[in-house]
Amino acid sequence: MNSSQLLGFTTFAYLFASILYIAIFVFRAERIGIVASLVTLVSFLAQTTGIVLRWVESYKMGFGHAPLSNMYESLVFFSWATAIFYLWLEWRFKNRTIGAFAVPFAFLSMAYASFGSQIDSEIKPLVPALQSNWLIAHVVTCFIGYAAFAVAGGMGVMYLLKDRHETNVGGKKGQDSGLLATLPSLRVIDDLIYKCIIFGFVWLSTGIITGAIWANKAWGTYWSWDPKETWSLITWFVYAAALHARFVRGWSGRRIAWLAVIGVFSVVFTYYGVNFLLSGLHSYGRPTE
Amino acid sequence: MENKKGNRLWNFFASVKLALFTIFVLAIASIIGTIVPQKEDAARYVELYGANVAHFFQLLSIQDMYNSWWFTSLLILFSLNLIVCTIERLPHIWKVVVQDNLAATSVDRLRKMAMRHDFQGQLTGEPALESVRRAMRDAGWRPSQTEKEGGTLLFAQKGAWTRLGVIVVHVSILVIFTGALIGSFYGYKASVMIPEGGSVDQVYQSNNQHTPIPLGFTVRCDDFKLKYYDSGMPKEYRSLLTVVKDGQEAYQKSIVVNDPMQYGGLTFYQSSFQPMDGQFSVQITNDKDKASQKFVIYPRQENKWPEEKVSFGIVDMSGPDMMQRYQYKIWFSDGKSSPSEFWINQGGTARIKRADATYVLIANPRYATGLQVVKDPGVWTVYSGCIMMILGLIVIFFMAHRRVWVFVSNDGKKTNVLLSGMSNKNKLGFERDMESICNRMEEVAQLTAPAK
């Protein structure tokens, strides 16, 4: 068994888990809930093993490094972080209906890593600029943040769907028998979005800071307005604004849900768009031409 | 009138609306600089966007946007907003932190709090109070108490100081800005190329090539090494640097990309390299007496190592091969046996056996190492700001100010105990705290909840 087989298996396992969670949501099949959780857990464990194996394999190839160094490896790690964050959320808040809005992220990220034509999954040694212990600290902190923001965005969509539905039905509880009735109440979703944003914000801040310290160690400047840095700051601004709007101006519900969704676009652009569309110092994640 | 005007300006800067507006504008403006390439030659902008747009960019300093007057103004506005907001909020927050909650809270208010529990007990007087205090201490709360009309009020709190977290985070941003200012006023960034064997004692700032900055010491590059992986990807750039001060070798460090040299308040980073055109670096070691010498040579010239009575030279070269390496044809003579000629790879090692000794020869292009030289006395201020920010965020988001009041009164027949609590965050977690106090009230203080 090697890492690429395991990670390939993981892709399909997350697909299966996503289908199960969507089934729970669409068919109100709460009975299969435990199966969905187990499948996700198994996929997550397989993925963890896959990542560790890839790490070991890189050592066997003679240039060992943590598997966090290029687009492929970061997509896998993003998927991993989303899965563990979701599993924690499910366990903490005892609710499986949110799985349909979170686990598909883990699957899509793996699917893109595995089948994207521009993504090179080969294990490669590190260029001199990446040979640093800050690599792990920086990538891990950033991606835990991204995972939390992705889940917050998924729940933002969930909120907006349910909110629109309730407005149409007339907002009376207990009466509607539609799909969305199984979702947690708007108040609970709102609270979860907010908690995910808080969690993500702390990790994103730490990610930007570890990045700055590393940049200073490697290049002698902790901030150079490189597109990647700037976009991470823009994302930070989006969430800082969302938190202030809520804390001080009492925003909640629909407006915070929209901000959570906008935030995900900013995250995706920071992570993915910058590598593909803009040029700069931070070109490690760039696809091979 | 004057005062009112001042107030209006103050209120403008103290508003959260302004903060949201500034953050929004900063975010949008920052995007421009990620799309329009920064710090390119003027001609490049004309080529990319046409003369008119390029002229417009010039007017707004888009080519160096993040240092432009208007972006700087936005950052100043942001800072003023932060400062005024902090000054505005601090007294209110401080008041809550040091507030005497025994005096400030009326029993009526306790009865209106969302989280409250009633108990009754048989003990009266001081024993009743003592049992309640013990119950609270058992649950992890240290109450203080005061006499109120109709009974005794006990109060305990946790994490009052956590209310300062907001201030810490806002101040941390100002600290980071201060560090950045210190760096820009008292620091500089320069770059310098030092050929192997060469040295420098002054550097030129990246944006000012006319005035040299003296280092106060000399930095010599003894060696530059370039390593590749088998695939041809660069593996390592390594420079051996020696600091010479007052004619003495004061410090030596071998630097690579993520491991710079620090000396005399300056940091030297490995940032680039270039081969010196038509110059080569040859290192020869006598395996027997371990004598070793490094030479800078030109091709097709005879070079001598008088101490060892050795002559050598590069007589021909070819390449580069797939790994970007050149091959050199070496001519070598020790004056006794007949000279030998052979090919070696760039960076490769040749062992030349002679009657008296074996010589080890390594040939490379002569490189110049490119160093980034940075003086930034503000960096530790920036880092302190960063640490403050993370700690502050953790306090804001994951710690709460929890307050618990207990009012003990007696209606002549039995003792009535009212437990009320409040938390500014994490209500769910606080409910569990309250539950644990309730349990202790029943078990330790032998109180009972009245039948509903």
- DSSP codes of every residue in B268-305: EEEEEEEEEEEEEEEEEEETTT--EEEEEE-TT--EEE
Task: Look over chain B and give the mean of its residue pLDDT values, rounded to a whole number.
Answer: 89
Q: Sort out which chain A residues have CB atoms less than 8 A from B16's CB and list them.
A: 244, 248-249
B175 to chain A, closest Cα gap in Å: 14
Contact status of A61 with chain B (Cβ, < 8 Å): no
State whether residue B20 sits within 8 Å of chain A by CB.
yes
Distances from the Cα of B349 to the Cαs of B300, B333, B362, in angstroms? 20, 17, 5
The pLDDT, as a whole number, for residue B353 is 87
Question: Region B170-177: what's the mean pLDDT?
Answer: 96
Whether residue B294 sits in one domain with residue B240: yes
A127, A129, A231 member nearest B34 (Cβ): A231
Q: Which of B330, B358, B375 is the C-terminal boundary of a domain?
A: B375
In DSSP terms, which residues pair with B194 in a beta bridge?
B369
| CB contact (8 A) between residue A125 and residue B256 | no
B23: closest chain A residue by CA:
A237
Last residue in a domain, options B96, B118, B144: B96
Q: Are residues B234 and B359 in the same domain?
A: yes
Q: Which of B216, B364, B197 is nearest to B280 (CA)?
A: B364
**pLDDT band of B257, cuts 50, 70, 90:** very high
Do B283 and B357 belong to one domain?
yes
For chain A, positions 247-266, list CB contacts with chain B under 8 A. Answer: 248-249
User: Which residues does A224 contact at the CB level (< 8 Å), separation at least 6?
Assistant: A215, A281
User: Are A222 and B379 an interchain contact pair (Cβ–Cβ within 8 Å)?
Assistant: yes
Which of residues 77 through 106 in chain A touch B, CB cutoff 8 A? none
Beta-bridge mates of residue B226: B237
Whether residue B70 is contained in a domain is answered as yes
Is B107 in the same domain as B89? no
Cβ contacts of B257 on chain A, cutoff 8 Å: 128-129, 131, 218
pLDDT score for B121: 87
pLDDT of A20 reads: 93
Whether residue B86 lies inside any domain: the answer is yes
Mean pLDDT of B344-350: 86
| pLDDT band at A281; cut points 50, 70, 90 | low
Residue B406 resides in a domain: yes
The domain boundary residue, chosen from B56, B71, B96:
B96
The answer to whether the CB of B295 falls within 8 A of the CB of B289 is no
B66 with A202: Cβ contact below 8 A: no
Which of B17, B32, B34, B390 has the most A C-beta neighbours within 10 Å, making it the best mutation to test the interface with A?
B34
Residues B327 and B202 in one domain: yes
User: Tell me: the pLDDT tens digits for B385-408?
Assistant: 999 999 999 999 999 999 999 999
- Say if residue B254 is in the same domain as residue B243: yes
- Domain with B413, as residue range(s), is 99-159+400-443
Chain B residues close to A288, C-beta within 8 Å: none
Pick from B24, B38, B386: which is nearest to A241 by CB?
Answer: B24
SS3 call for B68: coil
The answer to whether the CB of A260 falls within 8 A of the CB of A155 is yes
Instruction: Kindly state whether residues B436 and B351 are assigned to the same domain.
Output: no
Same domain, B124 and B68: no
Counted domains in chain B: 3
Q: Which residue has the tokens 């680039």?
A: B272
Residues of B with Cβ-Cβ distance to A212 under 8 angstroms: 382, 386
- What tokens were used for B251? 């410090």
CB-CB under 8 Å, B372 with A238: no
Q: What is the pTM of this model?
A: 0.88
Q: Where are the beta strands (DSSP E) in B196-265?
A: 199-205, 208-228, 234-245, 248-255, 261-263
Å between A177 CA and nearest CA of chain B: 29
Phi and psi at B409, nearest 5°, equal -135, 170
Taking CB atoms and an 8 Å cutoff, what residues of chain A touch B180? 223
User: Strands B188-195, B199-205: parallel, antiparallel or unpaired by DSSP?
Assistant: antiparallel
How sure is the predictor about B426, in pLDDT bands with cuts at 50, 70 and 90? confident
Question: CA dihedral defined by A130, A131, A137, A141, rounded to 10 degrees?
Answer: 20
Q: Give the β-pairing of B266-286 and B292-297.
A: antiparallel
| Yes or no, beta carbons of A202 and B390 under 8 Å apart | yes
pLDDT tens sequence across A193-230? 999 999 999 999 999 999 999 999 999 999 999 889 99
Min CA distance, A140 vs chain B (Å)? 16
Judge: A244–B374 Cβ closer than 8 Å, yes or no: no
If one counts every other C-beta atom within 10 angstroms of the C-beta of residue B3, the result is: 7
Question: Does the pLDDT value for residue A174 go beyond 50?
Answer: no
Residue of A63, A199, A244 with shortest CB distance to B16: A244
pLDDT score of A171 more than 60: no
Whether residue B340 sits in one domain with residue B208: yes
> Are residues B337 and B235 part of one domain?
yes
Does the distance separating the beta carbons of B23 and A127 come in below 8 Å?
no
Residues 128-167 of A with CB under 8 A from B: 128-129, 131-132, 134
d(CA B263, CA B256): 16
A233 shares contact with chain B (CB less than 8 Å): yes
Whether chain B has a CB inside 8 Å of the CB on A279: the answer is: yes
B89–chain A Cβ distance below 8 A for any pair: no
As for the ipTM of the complex, it is: 0.89
CATH number at residue B130: 3.30.310.80
Nearest CA in chain B to A249: B16
pLDDT band of residue A145 (cuts 50, 70, 90) is very high
Distance from CA of B358 to the nearest CA of A (A): 32
3-state secondary structure of A183: coil
Residues B327 and B209 in one domain: yes
Q: Determine the residue type at B27.
A: A
**What is the average pLDDT across A77-106?**
91
Please say whether the beta carbons of B69 and B59 come within 8 A: no
How close, in Å, is residue B228 to chain A by CA atoms? 10
Range 327-386 of B in CB contact (< 8 A) with A: 372-374, 376, 379, 382-383, 386
Rounded percentage of chain B residues whose pLDDT exceeds 90: 51
> By the 8 A CB rule, do B421 and B404 touch?
yes
Arithmetic mean of pLDDT over chain A: 88
* Same domain flag for B315 and B199: yes
Total beta-carbon pairs less than 8 A apart between chain A and chain B: 105
Q: Under an 8 A CB cutoff, do B257 and A218 touch?
A: yes
